[in-house]
Amino acid sequence: MKKKLLVLICLGVNLIVHAQQKPNIIIIYADDLGYGDLSCYGMSKIKTPNIDKLAKQGIRFTNAHSTSATCTPSRFGLLTGKSPWKQNGTGIAPGDASLIIPTDKPTLPSMLQNAGYTTAVIGKWHLGLGTNGIDWNSEIKPGPKEVGFNYSFIMPATLDRVPCVYVENGRVLNLDPTDPIAVNYKKKIGNDPTGKENPELLRMKPDVRQGHNQTIIDSISRIGWMSGGHSAYWKDENIASEITNKAITFISNNTTKPFFLYFASGDIHVPRYPNSMFRGKSGMGLRGDAILQLDWTVGKLINALDSLHLAQNTMIIFSSDNGPVVNDGYFDQSVELLGDHKPAGPLRGGKYSIFDAGTRVPFIVKWPEKVKANKTTDVLISQIDLFASLAKLTGQPLGDIAAPDSFDMLAQLLGKSKENRSYLLEQGGPLSIIKGKWKYIEPSKGPRYSDVVNIEYGNDSFAQLYDLSNDIGETKNLALQYPDIVKELATLLKTNREV
């Protein structure tokens, strides 16, 4: 009898252990962080010890890509597993855009909910909210909750777009109902000062070639006009610590069941106004200071996991939504103080670009339980693959409608396979495709270069073909030498752009 009881208890314990075996999953998504912006990816001017430690304890990918060279489409691809160029309206979203993620199809967070995860998004959203205009003064939906996040604490668009307020679980935080919020992207509303009319109130000058001179929030003028909501304004220098604290609270509240945290840092997007702990500390201007703040954030999250004894079975995936830009709307001294630092490392282009710096980004996976430390891999992988890979990891079927463009790359994420994605598409203005060593960029009419952001877009009216195996900087166009490869890749690209 006693023996039977013991067996039963053992079985029970075993079941519990098994039930807990699914790892926690955290995606830390930086904003505009370039391939060369971390010391573990070759930056020498400042150090990013916490992110470097992640890489040391896990796998550092050197050929991982976001889908797109800007924020909204990359995030759309990450969360839906669908290529953003297959849906209209997935370009950079204004601050009053409607939600662009369909609520009737599986998403990365809803798939993980089905697998038993409690899910949260904390940080930058930039995927639209509501359906036909947003009333910021009542419950804002559909939004994160309707696409599968149990908890949300978000900056609605970008740091440089109004409204500059946090939205927690569909409600503007700290809103005074007697001072309601109105937002307009077409014309000025309300009497709040703007950068255009009151430049003396600003802590950094907007580059008016790029707008950014509308309503002033926290002494910085933004894109778009807003009135009301004064008690709800965020303070730029506190954003990093506020969202980090929210993340730590979420983690602490979910120690007994698996959780998924999509942590979308506002760093290092403009306007850059990191905390006084970091301002002036990099010697590289506010952009460098924001990199230090991002690294601090990662350190805080790791410490929280360590102290809750969760680190061993938590999978952390660190990456960036698109490549680097130095002046993206404000004169914040980042250009003047950049020195010889190369935000894109050896790559050509930057944010907005179809050259590789637009989409080839830092990508690190750490999961002590299953992933061997101290590895580097050049396996070709896309962020869009996280959906199918994490579905595989958590035993979720994808069915016909989920994540149509996501490939299962779990073995690669865990360092167990070196097999490249068979090919991969990227989006700048035009599309490009990488297959093996070859990269083909389709012809396009857009400008080749922007002197405003000082970035080569990579547009050309002729086809471009580069051999990335010995020309990672895309300097020699080989299209005329290899017409058959151009033809093959152009056809493959065409088939993959269609729905």
**Which residue stretch of 17-25, 67-75, 257-265, 490-498 sits at the interface with Ca ion (rule: CB under 5 A)?**
67-75
For residue 159, the minimal CB distance to ligand NG6 (Å) is: 8
Rounded Cα–Cα distance for residues 7 and 118 (Å): 32
In this structure, the number of other CB atoms found within 10 A of the CB of residue 417 comes to: 13
Does 405 sit near ligand NG6 (CB under 6 A)? no
Rounded Cα–Cα distance for residues 418 and 375 (Å): 12
Looking at the Cβ atoms of 155 and 431, the one nearer to ligand NG6 is 155
Does 269 sit near ligand NG6 (CB under 6 A)? yes
Query: What mask of x and - would describe binding to Ca ion in positions 397 to 426, judged by CB under 5 A?
Result: ------------------------------
Rounded Cα–Cα distance for residues 154 and 177 (Å): 20
- Binding residue for ligand NG6 (CB under 6 A) from 48, 118, 158, 215? 158
Does 160 sit near ligand NG6 (CB under 6 A)? yes
Does 328 sit near Ca ion (CB under 5 A)? no
Q: Which two tokens stand for residue 380?
A: 């070709």
Rounded Cα–Cα distance for residues 3 and 195 (Å): 78
Contact 424, 433 (CB under 8 A): yes
Residue whose token pair is 């993206």? 328
Does 328 sit near ligand NG6 (CB under 6 A)? yes
Looking at the Cβ atoms of 174 and 450, the one nearer to ligand NG6 is 450
Q: Cis (ω within 30 of 0) for the bond into 84?
A: no
Does 31 sit near Ca ion (CB under 5 A)? yes
- Torsion from C-alpha of 377, 419, 64, 150, nearest 10 degrees: -110
Residue of minimal CB distance from ligand NG6? 71
- Binding residue for ligand NG6 (CB under 6 A) from 121, 147, 223, 317? 223
Q: Is the dihedral of CA 214, 358, 473, 340 positive or negative?
A: positive
**Residue of 122, 98, 96 whose CA lies nearest to 109:** 122
Q: What is the DSSP letter of 186?
A: S
Looking at the Cβ atoms of 162 and 388, the one nearer to ligand NG6 is 162
- Binding residue for ligand NG6 (CB under 6 A) from 48, 50, 57, 70? 70
Partner whose binding site includes residue 111, from ligand NG6, Ca ion, none (CB under 5 to 8 Å by kind)? none
- Binding residue for ligand NG6 (CB under 6 A) from 102, 199, 211, 473? 211
For residue 5, the minimal CB distance to ligand NG6 (Å) is: 59
**Which residue stretch of 134-142, 228-236, 322-330, 363-371 sits at the interface with ligand NG6 (rule: CB under 6 A)?**
322-330
Instruction: State the pairing for strand pair 314-320/24-30.
Output: parallel
Query: What mask of x and - would describe binding to ligand NG6 in positions 167 to 206, judged by CB under 6 A?
Result: ----------------------------------------
**Which residue stretch of 14-22, 122-130, 316-324, 389-397 sits at the interface with Ca ion (rule: CB under 5 A)?**
316-324
**Which residue stretch of 114-122, 270-278, 279-287, 321-329 sits at the interface with Ca ion (rule: CB under 5 A)?**
321-329
Contact 124, 267 (CB under 8 A): no
- Binding residue for Ca ion (CB under 5 A) from 322, 353, 459, 464? 322
Q: Is the dihedral of CA 194, 198, 201, 206 positive or negative?
A: positive
For residue 218, the minimal CB distance to ligand NG6 (Å) is: 16
Residue of minimal CB distance from Ca ion? 71
Q: Is 220 left (phi over 0), alpha (psi -120 to 50) or beta?
A: beta
For residue 270, the minimal CB distance to ligand NG6 (Å) is: 6
For residue 499, the minimal CB distance to ligand NG6 (Å) is: 23
Rounded Cα–Cα distance for residues 233 and 374 (Å): 42
What string of H, E and C letters represents the secondary structure of 60-91?
EECCEECCECCHHHHHHHHHHCCCHHHCCCCC
Cα 397 to Cα 114, 309, 393, 401, distances in angstroms:
10, 30, 10, 11
For residue 352, the minimal CB distance to Ca ion (Å) is: 10
Helices (H) and strands (E) in the chain, counts: 9, 24
Looking at the Cβ atoms of 52 and 328, the one nearer to ligand NG6 is 328
Partner whose binding site includes residue 160, from Ca ion, ligand NG6, none (CB under 5 to 8 Å by kind)? ligand NG6
Q: How many residues does the chain have?
A: 499
> What's the gap between Cα 406 and its chain centre?
17
Rounded Cα–Cα distance for residues 129 and 183 (Å): 13
Partner whose binding site includes residue 328, from Ca ion, ligand NG6, none (CB under 5 to 8 Å by kind)? ligand NG6
For residue 209, the minimal CB distance to ligand NG6 (Å) is: 8
Does 321 sit near Ca ion (CB under 5 A)? yes
Contact 109, 394 (CB under 8 A): no
Contact 332, 204 (CB under 8 A): yes
Reduced to 3 states, what is the DSSP secondary structure of residue 187?
coil
Does 208 sit near ligand NG6 (CB under 6 A)? no
Residue whose token pair is 């010995």? 470
Number of chain positions touching ligand NG6 (CB under 6 A): 16
Binding site residues, ligand NG6, CB under 6 A = 31-32, 70-71, 92, 126, 158, 160, 210-211, 223, 269-270, 322, 328-329
Residues that bind Ca ion (CB under 5 A): 31-32, 71, 321-322
